[in-house]
Amino acid sequence: MTPNNPEKEMPMKDDYLWDGSGKPDPEVQRLESLLAEFSHTERPLTLPAETSPLSSKPPGLAVQFPWLPRLAAAAVILLASIIILFLPSIRVVLSPTGPSWDVANLEGAPQIGSESISANRSTAKLYVGQTLTTNSSSRVSLSEADLGQIQIDPNSRVRLLQSGPSHKRLQLEVGTIHAAIWAPPGEFVVDTPSAIAVDLGCAYTLHVTPDGSGTIRTILGWVGFHLNGRDSFIPAGAMCSTRPKVGPGTPYFEDVSESFREALHTFDQSEPGSDGASAALATVLSQSRAKDGLTLWHLLTRTSGAERVEVYERFAALVPPPQGVAREGILRLDSHMLDLYWNALDLGDISIWREWEQSTDAHPAPASKQLPAKKELLLKKNLAP
Amino acid sequence: MNFSSDDALVRAAQKGDRSAFGHLYSRYSRMVHGILLSRVPHSEVDDLVQDVFLQALPRLAALREVSKFPGWLASIARNRANDFHRRSKPHDEFSERSANEEFDPPSFAPPPHSSTEAHAALDAILALPEAYRETLILRLVEGMTGPEIAQRTGLTHGSVRVNLHRGMQQLREILARRAPLAGGEL
């Protein structure tokens, strides 16, 4: 794959190009930013129903038995005749099967696939692979015993992608959902066009606009927003937006000042290192309160060079670094120290997220790390159905 | 089952565990996307990523050394890209090519909503030799680090370092040459 003799090359000095460490190269940073729009956005993998990795193709049966194709053709004709004769009863068998969620019609006539849930039919089932659509006058509620309840607002479109025992996945193409989740953290994931929302416990509102941008507001617990290695954690009382091909922006508490909010928005939208970004960052830093450590922690990984130093200094002044966290470690983005510093904010145990990253939903966090009695907490806050 | 290591995932997937295969998809789809993007038009890449994993699934049981999975999957992705070009070219033209011959980089049509600058940058990378453009796309587009690229593609660290270093050198030269013509930074 490599021309000439790569193993005898002298080690290069451009460490930033190699692993993102060292002094950032402005041209590499600029290319990374420009090219992000072409990066991979994970789509669910659709596997064929009957294919088994262990199966092997049988050797040429048609060669050994020349009459086999004719027999097969006759069988097809016979099968077609049976289907025509017994179509009404077969239709029952062909109805969707497998895992499903309960759909309660709250208002209007929402659709599952091309079929309306009529006014006189208040409940239905949403099976894996099916799409549920609400128009401007309809609302529904989705529920699953082990998961929780999700209310779908008008003008929304969702698709149920997976509903396994420890892995439940919904796609929100457009519209708004209000989720109250009591499944263990990391088990429920919502795909949107611009980020994946991972429930870390346990109530939030997620909105996706027709252009694919998204906004999340967390009411209880915290939620992770993820796209292509870019993560944002949104605790209760905070919100975060996300853009297609770019991913999650920087989260902030909803009670920040308007100027803080605007400056953060400008920072997220500006070229890294540009004059606009620097001015916006200065506003954010000067107006930060101790609780805005949430925002500052995220900015550590979204700045570089002197700007990262400024962010750290302000962050450390507002939230003293916990034991085990050193200035130099944070400035070189030591992941262990960043995790320790996040936990010092007391907004959620980051090890839950790290486990989700490792297991990609398949294995819920250990019971000891689950939020205590999530369903009871939701009931107490009057958020559960 | 402990799915913390790729080897454990591959073994489980070989036994028919689709959940394990799904994990492998999550871990490796970005690499496959980058390999394909360095060879085929951007508009075709998403569908081909799915094709690569659908091709890999039934063949996985035949993989003897599970540790070779990353390089094996990368080869399927490269072959799928070659196959894409093969099918889109007239038969006579293809019949004269050798099986191992490299194809021209994709003639890149900008996807809807892509910026001119981003298109120009990608176009410049696609003008590089194949080894450089694949490694640079994995680094600059997919956001993988050098060690990740080495681990995911089965290349040695040395190869990846050199591909990045030389590829970036050539890319800087191309961008510098194009900048005056474009009247902009790129």
Is A130 within the bounds of a domain? yes
pLDDT band for position A86 (50/70/90)?
low
The answer as to CATH 3.40.50.300 being correct for domain B1-107 is: no
SS (H, E, C) chain B: CCCCCHHHHHHHHHCCCHHHHHHHHHHHHHHHHHHHHCCCCHHHHHHHHHHHHHHHHHHHHHCCCHHHHHHHHHHHHHHHHHHHHHHHCCHHHHHCCCCCCCCCCCCCCCCCCCCHHHHHHHHHHHCCCHHHHHHHHHHHHCCCCHHHHHHHHCCCHHHHHHHHHHHHHHHHHHHHHHHHHHCCCC
Is A286 within the bounds of a domain? yes
Same domain flag for A148 and A225 = yes
High-pLDDT (> 70) share of chain B, %: 78
Is A342 within the bounds of a domain? yes
What residues does each domain of chain B span?
1-107, 113-186
pLDDT for A327 equals 95
Q: Which residue has the higher pLDDT, B149 or A63?
A: B149
Tell me, yes or no, if A32 comes closer than 8 A to chain B by beta carbon.
yes
Interchain pair A52, B142: CB under 8 A: no
CB B130 within 8 A of CB A2: no
pTM above 0.90, yes or no: no
* For range A39-52, the mean pLDDT: 66
pLDDT at B11 over 60: yes
Same domain flag for A373 and A316 = no
CB A362 within 8 A of CB A166: yes
Same domain flag for A164 and A124 = yes
Q: Which residue has the higher pLDDT, A193 or B97?
A: A193
Task: Identify the residue among B162, B166, B171, B174 best suited for mutation to test binding to A, counting A beta carbons within 10 A and taking the highest.
Answer: B162
Q: How close is the nearest chain B Cα to the Cα of A376, in Å? A: 31
Maximum average pLDDT range among A14-18, A115-119, A257-261, B49-53:
A257-261
Same domain flag for A199 and A342 = no
- Please give the Cα distance from B125 to B105 (Å, whole number): 10
Interchain pair B158, A51: CB under 8 A: no
pLDDT band for position A254 (50/70/90)?
very high
Is A13 within the bounds of a domain? no
Query: What CATH number has the domain spanning B113-186?
Result: 1.10.10.10
Same domain flag for A157 and A140 = yes
**Domain count for chain A:** 2
Tell me, yes or no, if A98 comes closer than 8 A to chain B by beta carbon.
no
List pLDDT tens digits, range A288-302. 999 999 999 999 999
Same domain flag for A339 and A361 = no
pLDDT for A94 equals 45
Is A65 within the bounds of a domain? no
Please, what is the average pLDDT of chain A?
Answer: 80
* For range A309-319, the mean pLDDT: 96
Out of A2, A3, A35, the one facing B122 most closely (by C-beta) is: A35
The number of beta carbons lying within 10 Å of the beta carbon of residue A317 is: 12
Q: A324: closest CA among A315, A334, A314, A332? A: A334
Same domain flag for A243 and A261 = no
Is A23 within the bounds of a domain? no
Q: Which residue has the higher pLDDT, B113 or B27?
A: B27
Task: Identify the residue among B10, B37, B161 best suited for mutation to test binding to A, counting A beta carbons within 10 A and taking the highest.
Answer: B161
Domain of residue A380, CATH code: 2.60.120.1440
Tell me, yes or no, if B178 comes closer than 8 A to chain A by beta carbon.
no
Same domain flag for A269 and A310 = yes
DSSP classification of residue A13: S
Same domain flag for A238 and A116 = yes
Give A229's contacts in chain B (Cβ within 8 Å): 143
pLDDT for A374 equals 52
Domain limits for position A169? 97-249+349-385
pLDDT at B156 over 80: yes
Same domain flag for A309 and A228 = no
Task: Identify the residue among B140, B142, B159, B170 best suited for mutation to test binding to A, counting A beta carbons within 10 A and taking the highest.
Answer: B140
| E strand map for chain A | 100-107, 111-112, 115-116, 123-127, 131-133, 139-144, 148-152, 157-164, 167-181, 188-191, 196-208, 214-227, 230-235, 238-243, 247-248, 252-253
List pLDDT tens digits, range A136-176. 989 999 998 888 899 999 999 999 988 887 788 999 999 99
A 131-170: CB under 8 A from B: 164, 167
pLDDT for A367 equals 35
Tell me, yes or no, if A333 comes closer than 8 A to chain B by beta carbon.
no
High-pLDDT (> 70) share of chain A, %: 76
Rg (C-alpha) for chain B, rounded Å, is 18
Is the reported ipTM for this assembly greater than 0.85? no
Give A30's contacts in chain B (Cβ within 8 Å): 185
Which phi and psi angles does A170 have, rounded to 5°?
A: -125, 145
Same domain flag for A272 and A194 = no
Which residue of A lies nearest to B43 if distances are taken between CA atoms?
A38
Same domain flag for A194 and A171 = yes
